[in-house]
Chains A and B, each alone.
Chain A
Amino acid sequence: MTEPLLQVLGLSKSFGGLAAVDNVSLEVSAGALHAVIGPNGAGKTTLINLLSGDLPASAGSILYRGVEIAHLTPEKRSRLGVGRSYQKVNIFPGFSAFENCRLAAQSREPRPFNWLRDATKYDAIMENARRALSAVGLAHRADAFASILSHGEQRQLEIAMSLATDPTLLLLDEPLAGMGTEESLQMIELTGELAETHAILMVEHDMDAVFRLARVLTVMVNGKTLASGAPEAIRANREVQSAYLGSADGIE
């Protein structure tokens, strides 16, 4: 077993007196999709924001490839290979779907301050953008404005933008949120494919999807980790059943 790609140790975030994320530790390895589940307000999205750098951590450490990244800005973490998607669609609505991806791919251009060469003449960037868009099945919508895409397509575009930056670790914040059945199935299939080539940490409410995709599960309640382990072990865990799964969201 190689050392995990991402190691989170005692990560905490408080907003005033509220501990949104409280002493959370977990590990993500390449090729093993790690899902974080838990009731609303458990601190799952805050955890993703801490890992991506959108929020600064109050305490704890985040080791990526064994290097501390907790103090780094979001753009630096992105450049190290940490890509993320947002729970609330976060794209460039006024640009075409392709331009959304092209802009993401362009962030890897080593000479960013070129002032005169047309942006569409960078073959490697254009190719990466095209590949990312095809990977999520949006190639036929390349020229459409992102704002007129359906909700499901916008979610796919979210993922495509992350892919265009060629990430090693993907942080997916509820990729299935607000999706119809058909779209959900597509997204589950896509996530499964991505898991073969990327390390993925995913926050998700859809239990079917979680138990189909995840190799490791972490359950969060009130900012704390309640349990962590293989899906079967979590399913059998009494504490988890009473705290979370036994309620309205219960699993059979």
Chain B
Amino acid sequence: MVTLAFAQMLYSLFHDTKLGGGSDGIYINIRPELTVGSIKPLDLEDPVQFYYLVLMFMLGVYAFLNKLRCAPFGRALAGIRANENRMRSIGYPVFGYKLGAFVLAGALAGLAGYLAACQFGFVNPEILAWHQSGTVLMMVILGGMGRFHGAIIGAFAYILLQELLSASAMFGAYAKHWQLAMGSLIVLIVLVLPRGLADLLEYGAVVYERQRMRAAG
């Protein structure tokens, strides 16, 4: 709740002052370029190249976080989540670890923000509003908490659903009210799969394993 309140404060700050261009935000007319001498190995104006760049970043971050989870730092964070008081009494400076996790999360969110600015060509105060935090939270809940691939599945599912339900070619006049359908669908999915869509993968794996065992006799 405190995080939300601070985000909302920053939103007001950027929305009501000239600090970041007011409610219009800032337009970025030139995309960042990667050039080596006169050669341009990466052209971010090209949507396909940009897509693969973002995909690479996503896979890289996913791999990094998985590595981190098994490293001493990640194990200590898991311990702090499970039993903070005991972590203190066996000698962990808990605050430092939490700060480390917070800084890392902030840095990764910053990377995402950089890529978003590259994609859309502008940033406005809306990305600080609670709607944005809510959307991200929704993606995580939809995909499944407590697993890194849950967040990825959730993000893809959320955006695909949004695109689908707001397509007037499919739903005509109802497409305008896509939030209603979206909300109902998310509630339904969470009811059926309380641990998110990532559970489908795990069910799938179990079913596959059973069939293989049965086939083997």
Contact = CB atoms under 8 A, between A and B. Distances in A.
Contacts, number: 91
A62 B100 CA distance: 32
B73 to A, nearest CB: 5
Contacts of B85: 54, 90
Interface string A162-187: 10110000000000000000000000
A114 B90 contact: no
B83 A78 contact: no
Interface of A is mostly: loop
Interface stretch (A25-33, A91-99, A227-235): A91-99
Interface residues of A, number: 38
A79 B93 CA distance: 10
B2 to A, nearest CB: 23
A156 to B, nearest CB: 16
Contacts of A250: none
Contacts of B91: 75, 78-79, 104, 107-108, 165
Interface in B67-123: 67-68, 70-76, 78-79, 82-83, 85-94, 97, 100
A74 B89 contact: yes
Given A75-B92, A107-B91, A165-B91, A119 B86 contact: no
A70 B166 CA distance: 63
A117 to B, nearest CB: 6
A116 B71 CA distance: 6
A99 B87 CA distance: 13
11 contacts: A74-B89, A75-B88, A75-B89, A75-B94, A102-B75, A103-B76, A116-B68, A116-B71, A119-B75, A162-B90, A165-B90
Interface of A: 52, 54, 73-75, 78-79, 83-84, 86, 90-95, 99, 102-104, 106-109, 112-120, 122, 161-162, 164-165
